[in-house]
């Protein structure tokens, strides 16, 4: 231990954690039902078949912490110096549900439950809206309700929805609502759909260890190469875990995208208004959720810009006090550190 972790800004900044998860008992029970009745895909069986049923300490702790939006969570924030938590319904949300009406009911109740918690702890909790991409028009209305009635500051979608990706035309109402409300979209990982899974479960690599990043970075690149940001130039898309490694790969993805455009190799790859570096610096925001690793954070700042990189803990899936101290000790300027922990979140979430 190198220094005590306190809330209140004793180090010259508040700590705002930007990718923190919660769940409702109703949602966990639906996951269990889907695992039991065979309607869950391989990723859900692997992920929630473990977390919702395993007697292991990790699984039982995570379920307990996911379900708490009260004193225990506040205590854990206090113990690790987290001033504010930006909360979203845990992945995969309601997106795997086959009954769309059931999904809409669960999402509505989860959003109302979160709004009540935010109202109880207005100085500590900030909400993001959960939606049902299976019904894009309903989701657009719920985005507007979240922004205008519930006081939420963003929207989270857990990557693909039953193998469908947000660059597909049917999801445009969601982006119109984001544009109308001026809210950011957080694209959180989900497990790979069955047609991408391959041997990852057998290898033990399907979840947060690797599969999440593979699937979500693929999704994010689709948003860029489909021309979404040319249609919605002010759209801000957030991604965790080092922006799912896109900054590291950016030179190569940009080079090969341009080569693909010149060669007319793919029907889906068309010229964009800008190169991929531009979109990374103007439309993407990255957080360090689950990746409190100085070299990665410095790379994000260098590639994306110091105004586009934010702190996140990834509670309750990652809850390690020493990682907060590591971030306090980042070898970056104090001004950059304040942006990383506080100012950038305040700016992009309009706090």
pLDDT digits (tens, 9 = 90+) for 193-228: 999 999 999 999 999 999 999 999 999 999 999 999
**What does residue 317 show for φ and ψ, rounded to 5 degrees?**
-70, -25
With tokens 């998860």, the residue in question is 21
Q: Which of 64, 68, 314, 328 is catalytic?
A: 314
Q: What is the pTM of this model?
A: 0.98
Write down the pLDDT at residue 1.
67
- Is the bond preceding residue 316 a cis peptide, omega within 30 degrees? yes
Q: How far apart are CA 345 and CA 339, in angstroms?
A: 8
48-72 confidence digits (pLDDT tens): 999 999 999 999 999 999 999 999 9
Helix (H, G, I), strand (E, B) or coil at 18: strand
What is the chain's mean pLDDT, rounded? Answer: 98
Chain segment 69-101, per-residue pLDDT in tens: 999 999 999 999 999 999 999 999 999 999 999
Pairing assessment for the beta strands 309-310 and 284-287 based on DSSP bridges? parallel
What 3-state DSSP class applies to 331?
A: coil
Residue pair 341/327 in contact by the 8 Å Cβ criterion: yes
Q: What is the pLDDT of residues 257-305, one digit of tens each?
A: 999 999 999 999 999 999 999 999 999 999 999 999 999 999 999 999 9
Q: Give the H/E segment covering residue 122.
A: none
CA distance 148 to 129: 11
Distance in angstroms (rounded) separating the CA atoms of residues 224 and 230:
9
pLDDT at 311 over 90: yes
Q: pLDDT tens-digit profile of 138-168?
A: 999 999 999 999 999 999 999 999 999 999 9
3-state secondary structure of 106: helix
Whether residue 41 lies in the annotated active site: no
| Tokens found for residue 126 | 């900030």
Question: Helix, strand or coil for residue 205?
Answer: coil
In this predicted structure, what is the pLDDT of residue 10?
97
- Name the pairing type of β-strands 185-187 and 284-287: unpaired
CA distance linking residue 93 with residue 158, whole number of Å? 7
Tell me how far apart the alpha carbons of residues 349 and 243 are, in angstroms, rounded to a whole number.
17
If we measure between CA atoms, which residue out of 349, 239, 311 comes closest to residue 77?
Answer: 311
Confidence of residue 347 (pLDDT cuts 50, 70, 90): very high
What residue has token string 């991408």? 196
Q: Smallest Cα–Cα separation from 5: which of 343, 345, 329, 333?
A: 329
- Where does residue 121 rank: exposed (0-12), middle (13-18), buried (19+ CB within 10 A)? middle
Tokens (6 digits) for 1: 């231990």
- Would you tell me how many other CB atoms lie within 10 Å of the CB of residue 231? 11
Mean pLDDT of 317-327: 98
Distances (CA, A) of 19 to 11, 31, 238, 315: 22, 21, 10, 8
Region 23-29: what's the mean pLDDT?
98
Q: Which of 310, 315, 342 is nearest to 79 (CA)?
A: 315
Instruction: Name the band, by pLDDT with cuts 50, 70 and 90, for residue 178.
Output: very high
% residues pLDDT > 90 (the chain): 99
* Interatomic CA distance for residues 57 and 75, integer angstroms: 19
């Amino acid at each position: 231990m190198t220094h005590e972790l306190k809330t209140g800004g004793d180090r010259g900044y508040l700590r705002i954690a930007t990718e923190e998860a919660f769940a409702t008992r109703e949602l966990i029970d639906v996951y269990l039902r889907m695992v039991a009745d065979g309607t869950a895909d391989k990723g859900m069986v692997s992920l929630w078949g473990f977390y919702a049923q395993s007697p292991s300490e990790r699984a039982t702790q995570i379920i307990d912490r996911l379900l708490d939006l009260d004193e225990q969570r506040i205590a854990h924030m206090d113990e690790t110096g987290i001033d504010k938590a930006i909360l979203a319904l845990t992945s995969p949300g309601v997106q795997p549900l086959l009954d769309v009406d059931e999904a809409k009911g669960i999402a509505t109740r989860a959003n109302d439950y979160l709004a009540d918690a935010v109202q109880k702890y207005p100085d500590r909790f900030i909400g993001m809206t959960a939606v049902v991409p299976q019904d894009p028009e309903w989701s657009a209305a719920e985005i507007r309700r979240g922004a205008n009635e519930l006081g939420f500051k963003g929207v989270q979608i857990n990557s693909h929805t039953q193998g469908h990706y947000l660059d597909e035309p049917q999801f445009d109402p969601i982006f119109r609502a984001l544009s109308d409300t001026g809210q950011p979209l957080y694209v959180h990982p989900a497990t790979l759909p069955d047609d991408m899974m391959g041997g990852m479960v057998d290898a033990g690599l399907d979840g947060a260890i690797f599969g999440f990043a593979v699937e979500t970075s693929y999704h994010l690149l689709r948003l860029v190469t489909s021309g979404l940001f040319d249609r919605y130039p002010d759209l801000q898309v957030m991604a965790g875990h080092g922006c799912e490694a896109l900054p590291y790969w950016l030179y190569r993805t940009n080079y090969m995208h341009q080569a693909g455009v010149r060669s007319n190799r793919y029907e889906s790859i068309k010229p964009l208004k800008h190169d991929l570096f531009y979109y990374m610096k103007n439309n993407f925001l990255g957080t360090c959720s689950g990746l409190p690793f100085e070299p990665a954070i410095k790379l994000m700042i260098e590639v994306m810009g110091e105004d586009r990189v934010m702190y996140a803990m990834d509670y309750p899936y990652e809850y390690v006090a020493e990682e907060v101290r590591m971030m306090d000790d980042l070898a970056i300027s104090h001004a950059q550190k304040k942006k990383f922990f506080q100012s950038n979140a305040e700016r992009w979430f309009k706090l």
